[in-house]
Structure 1
């Protein structure tokens, strides 16, 4: 029973991450985006990505406060690992998270989320190149499977209003690459004893602040920040998204701690499948043969990568 509980925690992290993506899709498809200038609608996912990470960071901050760990955050920032986590957060946040939300917006969650799940593949390749980690035959087969699954997923454009579908696929690939690079950077960092909740807190806060107060002003999109905070309905959506993101991350780290890193990553990677199920239920996404085959190949290959060592 205890083993099932541990595995359920890992599966829940993947499910909640898929829910996070569905919330963003519902928001982007709602009438609420009419509050924004037409000229910036295309870049609106960047705004929402910033709020998502900031709210997730604040919720984790509250969780750490409940556990009495707030006093550990500032000292952690002075360590080498803490500084590397900040740098990794700039890769995984402004680049990774923004690309992820752009992918969902342009290609739909059923297609974008499974492709963004390729981050273990990119992490494996980058670790081989820069950290000189070995790659065995099983790993090579899984990487080829990831590539084939991605091709199958993106080969046929879905029905509906997706004029920038293939651009969305590219953004999803960039998200997966960024998260793989982020993981590689953290792996490269000096291994001081920092608790996972503290690392997560630093990562999410750095990501949210950098997107909202560095990326948006540079792209002349800060006016959309003001529009967002004036709408209680939009903030409600973003709080829900941030809640699911923070809970997903916390369960992901907990799942790796309880099940081991490979199994924890594999259980979390099921968000590929959850995204399709939820998209069919809540977004009426057509369940095509290519979608099913592509997601199945990607999910199996990513899970295989998690157990390749």
Structure 2
């Protein structure tokens, strides 16, 4: 019996390695799917904002709305509708899985309050800036917003004294070069009107999401990811409706008008169908992101999620350009090259690419 023990131990270790390898690979797949589903969220959100009452608002006559309302108030409403429906999806799945009571309990804890803070940064600020960018410049803004891991790495160094080594700095430089390549498509005679403004506002979204990632990393390390996402989406939807939208209404000089527009948006059936779909994909994207991070590591998970810099424009092109026949969703070659370059930069920031081969050899 004593002689057979080392053999048994070796078999157990080998079995454990196989299970770990399978778990790791599954985490990578889930994290990659978070990037794909984020692309579909972007596409269906944009599609929703072309249907029903949105078609009148963004139509040739703009329904008599001012440029400020069209650019900022409608973007805040679009973000609020999507995030509110995403929150409903999150509460539904939390209830189905028996986690709704845990969600209520976590609201009054330190990690829960951290998630609320993260959502206040990423919701009313970044999500609205993202929608403004999409409306103004189209899908070229998606790789710009993918700068958030690079910004998060810089902010992590400044705020939390986290490591920022030469490899990470190289990845940041690659991401910045890619963003300039994309930005170059927003100037010139072929660029749509307002594209440069859209690209600039997309940087605001990247900054907010980078900061949100720094803050939310603490919260999600201490609470269940599904509960954390539920807190995040509810806070984002409500803060858009009760904080940002009234502020924009006051700036526009008519709070009642912004409230009226929000009511019309929520009751526009032909548009809400697509917002329900975009809210679902937004929830799934965040869910896959958090779950993938926990399975393959936050660094690799962030890199896999960062592939939305490619999948975002691709999904918008497929859904809006190919299937719906809406003009203006094809991208120049330089934008596709820059999107792939952005993915490479994010991978280099998040981890040493050589570790992928080392892990494979160890297994």
Do both share a fold (TM > 0.5)? yes
Identify which of 204, 221, 246 aligns with 2:233: 204
Distance in 2 separating the partners of 1:303 and 1:263: 7
Paired position in structure 1 for 2:39: 18
Q: Deviation per CA, 1:228-263, whole angstroms, max 9, x where unpaired? A: 122111211211110110011111111112222112
Greater Rg, structure 1 or structure 2? 2
Tell me how far 1:55 sits from its aligned partner: 1.0
Q: Deviation per CA, 1:136-179, whole angstroms, max 9, x where unpaired? A: 11011111111111000011238877311111111111111101
Distance in 1 separating the partners of 2:173 and 2:95: 44
Distance in 1 separating the partners of 2:293 and 2:218: 19
Tell me how far 1:35 sits from its aligned partner: 4.2
Q: Deviation per CA, 1:5-62, whole angstroms, max 9, x where unpaired? A: 4332222111010111111222334464244444133231210101111111111111
Paired position in structure 2 for 1:144: 173
Q: Quick check: 179-188 or 204-213, which moved more? A: 179-188
RMSD: 2.2
When residues 20 and 296 of structure 1 are mapped into structure 2, their CA distance, relative to the original with a 3 A threshold, is same
Distance in 1 separating the partners of 2:70 and 2:296: 42
Q: Deviation per CA, 1:270-298, whole angstroms, max 9, x where unpaired? A: 11111232233334433423212221221
- 1:259 equivalent to 2:289? Answer no
TM-score under structure 2 length normalisation: 0.79
Distance in 1 separating the partners of 2:82 and 2:161: 34
Gap regions ≥5 residues in structure 1: none
The 5 A counterparts of 1:159-178 are 162-178=192-208
Tell me how far 1:185 sits from its aligned partner: 2.0
CA contact (8 A) 2:48 2:272 kept: no
- 1:250 equivalent to 2:280? Answer no
The 5 A counterparts of 1:271-286 are 271-284=308-321, 285-286=329-330
The 5 A counterparts of 1:121-160 are 121-157=150-186
SS in 2 for 1:295: helix
Paired position in structure 2 for 1:236: 273
Q: Deviation per CA, 1:88-141, whole angstroms, max 9, x where unpaired? A: 1110000011111111111102x1111111111111000111111121110111
Distance in 2 separating the partners of 1:119 and 1:209: 23
Tell me how far 1:209 sits from its aligned partner: 0.3
Identify which of 217, 226, 229 aligns with 2:246: 217
The 5 A counterparts of 1:62-101 are 62-101=92-131
Paired position in structure 1 for 2:6: none
Q: Deviation per CA, 1:163-203, whole angstroms, max 9, x where unpaired? A: 111111111111111011112223466x8731111111111
Distance in 2 separating the partners of 1:84 and 1:294: 34
Distance in 2 separating the partners of 1:75 and 1:192: 17
Distance in 1 separating the partners of 2:333 and 2:182: 10
TM-score under structure 1 length normalisation: 0.92
Paired position in structure 1 for 2:138: 108
Paired position in structure 2 for 1:6: 27
Gap regions ≥5 residues in structure 2: 1-20, 58-62, 250-257, 322-328, 356-363
